[in-house]
Structure 1
Amino acid sequence: MTAKYIRLAFLLFFYSISIRSQDIDFQKLEKEVIKISDQYESDINFKKATTYFLKKKWDSTLIYTQKQLITSKNQTLKNFSHFLRGYCFDKKGIFKEAENEYNQISKHFNHYDLVDTYLGLLALEQSKFKKAISHFEVLLDSTKNELNLNNKSLIIHNLGLCYLHLKKFGKAEIFLKKSTKFQEIQKDTIKLIGCYGDMATLYYEQYKDDLAIPYFEKAYNIAKTTNNFYSRFISSRNMSVVEENRKDFEKALKYRKEAQQWKDSLNDQNRIYEVAQKEKEFAVQQKQKEVDFLQVKNELQETQRNIFLYSAVGLLIVLGGILYFYREKVKNNRIITEQKETLDELNATKDKLFSIVSHDLRSSVNSLKNSNKILVSNLESKNLIALEDLLKKNSTIVNGAYGLLDNLLNWALLQTKQQYFHIEKQRLFIIAEHVSYNYQPLLLEKELSFENTVSKKDVVYADQESLKIVLRNLLDNAIKFSKTKGSIKIYTRNTSEDYCDLVIEDTGLGMSEETRLKLLEDNVLLNKKEHEDVIGTGLGLQLCKSMIKKNNGKFDIESELGKGTKMIVSLPKIPLNG
């Protein structure tokens, strides 16, 4: 992979941080919304809209602002309603509608500086940099001077980003330096990381590595002091790229492993947040059920108090109540039955996972334990050659266990139907190049030659993330089962009008015909290993088969014992229903 390609990949990381960090403080917006809401408290729809807006319930805000626009003739409320709608559409990622709402706001709106700000941010988000510049420059030249110093600094920073995207490096440097200097004074750690990153990107884009690298290192060192996993992941990832360009692959591998660690922590944090949100929603639903039940109970009590005066009506209400509760009972029984079936499936999945964990992780941990005993004895005897071999062996065991856990997680998500699939056009060369890039250090360590001859014209329909998981597992297996100084190739074959074959070929250990046929069977996890010196459970391959099937694809293996293996993934060239 060329240095230019690495630089381009690098830019995408820091721009994403910078754009998100340049938003205007929501607290200022909250104060203005509360103020205008209190001023027009008699307008029920607008009051409800502002209440939901402060709770960040964007859909409900959109509903009541629409009602307000239909019924209201007050220009101030119309302007504020359009503004709230624009903000909500922006948060939902519907940029065209957001821009349309902002453009309907009168120039006499008291907070038009915020309108220009968010129009500029929208343009920047959509890479319309010249348009973004026009809005940000208006804000800097504004005679109202309503922007505080912090927000003004963010506008200056965004101007720098726009000029950086437009390759106007002189202007970009002026604005980015101003913004960086301000953040250094304010000591806002997260924003300062973004500023250093963008300064580094500015110089890196111009191949001024001597100026760029110190900023990369500053961003990395500051990120280490924060609890922001995303900043740590990005800064470590960027340092890996820098060291790789310097040809210091040992440091590059160190930073890459560190980046992966923070990426995993970020994923865990997101999952915890999602679980907490679901628990909160469930608690709200339970509370609502209690409220509904009490409401029904009160209605029945009121009916009983008036039964002598309205006996006929009361009888109908009783009959209606009986019918209602009968339906509720039937409905609840159905829900309980469905929940029991789901629970049984989850328990079966759990048992299967525990079985795999107890067998394979125990083997890995036991191997690591025995190896450490030998390591201690060699440490006492200062046998450095043996120590190096043992450390490499331990690293291999740990990497294998980590790969197993990653596969277990993806397999569990797939089995519990939590895996998101979005099938669309994919260029196989780009995906193969991206996945193989992450394995360069392992290929070098094992002295394996690697060749990617996938045609740049080959396009298939598949889900990108699941396809990457499949390629990672197959490439990992190819490296694992290859001998030192062997070779691995990735290429495509077009032997069918409907499918494109992606082939991962190695010159490794190969397998017997019996093993090959077993691997092609559905729901098979191998316990017996073809090669005793190589860790392998078959879980990764089972995961690959499941994901290939979800992508409407086919899977095949060509192999002979001692003569290498070809793993063949056939993916559709046209979209299929399934």
Structure 2
Amino acid sequence: MAKFKLRFVLITLFFCTVVFSQEHYKEDLFHAEIMKKAEAFKSNTFFYKAASFFIEKEWNSTLVNSMKLLDTSKENITLTDYAHYFRGYSFKQKKMFKEAQNEFELISKAFEFYYLVTARLGQIALEQNRFEEAIPYFQALKELSEEDSFYFEKSATLNNLGLCYLHLGDFKKAAPYLSESVELKEQQKDTLEIINAYINVANLYYEQYQDDLAIPYFEKAYQLSKKIKDFNVKRRSTLNMAVVEENRKDFVKSLAYRKEYEKWKDSLNDQNKIWEVAKLEKEFAVKEKQKEVGLLQAENKAKIIERNGLLYSAVVLLFLLGISIYFYKEKAKVNKIIVAQKEDLDALNATKDKLFSVVSHDLRSSVNALKSSNTKLLGHLEAKNLEQLDSLLHTNSGIVNGAYNLLDNLLHWALLQTKQSYFEIASLRLFFIVEQTAYNYKPLMQEKNIQFDNSVLKSEVVFADQESLKIVLRNLLDNAIKFSKPNGSIKIYTRSTTDAFCDLVIEDSGLGMSEITRLELLKETGMLSKKEHEDVIGTGLGLQLCKSMIKINKGEFSIESELEKGAKMIVSLPKTT
């Protein structure tokens, strides 16, 4: 009976979380298609706003604007279908499944993404444990070709079908779907999805008491979880192993896994305190070194007094003099080491203080600007001045985006400093990485009427870590927009100067920089508190982060620029041979 209970806990733990990992769309490309449609109907304000809020995942605002769209565009079937899709998806994200299902069922089959509607209805049934109702939806998706279901992964459909049959106890039908899902996810090299797929297959075998088949999958999921940053997945994989070992009566291993589980659980709580802990550790280290210096100074004084007391005896003097000289040299060496360590600590502390000072100044400036803008916003709201309201809302959005980018850079900088970042070097097509990254900045470029051109060849393939490369591109593109004048232009293209490296160039027609600033930015410790242009003050943390991540990717960074003649930020990455 005890063994049965442990199995039940294990399987229940996973099934409670798995349905939320099945959302595996090519999200950025899908959002790009939605924005193209929004641009085509830009004259319809409600549709444009509903699409924008949908992409930004502002579900309440999406619901409000899509309802206004339905009230004003009942004759346009295309816009009506999009409105119902936006509303259905928003309700689903808010866990209002009944309302979500009603909205999806109102969409006509002529909707160009109707297969996504089928997928959503299947997911709603699956999340509500209506497994028999979910199966026909996923079967219909399974019959579609990849071309007809471009924005939905086949592996997710197979995985969901396997889960439905697994919940219904039909293990024979569940097995081929889950096995094929594992194969597809391994081909896609999505570590998080592979872990979930392994645990699904493991539970399939574990439910049938086929421990010899199940346990290797639990172990592979546990080993892979060490390579990702998601503490929840680490926690689930570790707890699964603890229960497995407990069932195998290996209580020592089970206890070790339980302790690791508690560690990941604590890590979730401690993650937001990383800066406070780092600051306290540095302060403590400085105080300890100061204590050591004071203690050594006291010891030196005692030695000098002792040596002077022994000068009255000539024979003893010669002996003690030699001993004193020896100890003096040793202490001098120790003092030099301590002084050098103290200087290093002081430099680190000064850098930390400067960083915190500049960051806090920027955040305070952003908050003050937001506070002032909100005061004006309330005034215009009372006066119902819609034009000014729209302008202030865009201003607030820009302020918040700037503060968010600063905090995001700060977090990634902290992860680099504490060596918690995970990098997976793989072959990447630059065009699609640039396209996905630039998509999120198009609204900012439109505000300044900046012309953007992605001329990266689709055939260009480099070796790099995808996530860190996106962070580099986001920072460089953000800087290009920030320093560009209205009606300017930004170009991203590649050029080949050697056979081993591919140069990715982010060129803007903005303010540029002096030769002194250019050389300063290229230094390893180039943390600037301000630049030539007083209206674009910043920490320089983003560029430092870029340089660190480019270096980890075994690449090189350079700048070509002149004042008032724009700038070229050049990222050189190893080519795929």
Could you state the TM-score of these two structures normalised by the residue count of structure 1? 0.48
TM-score (norm 2): 0.48
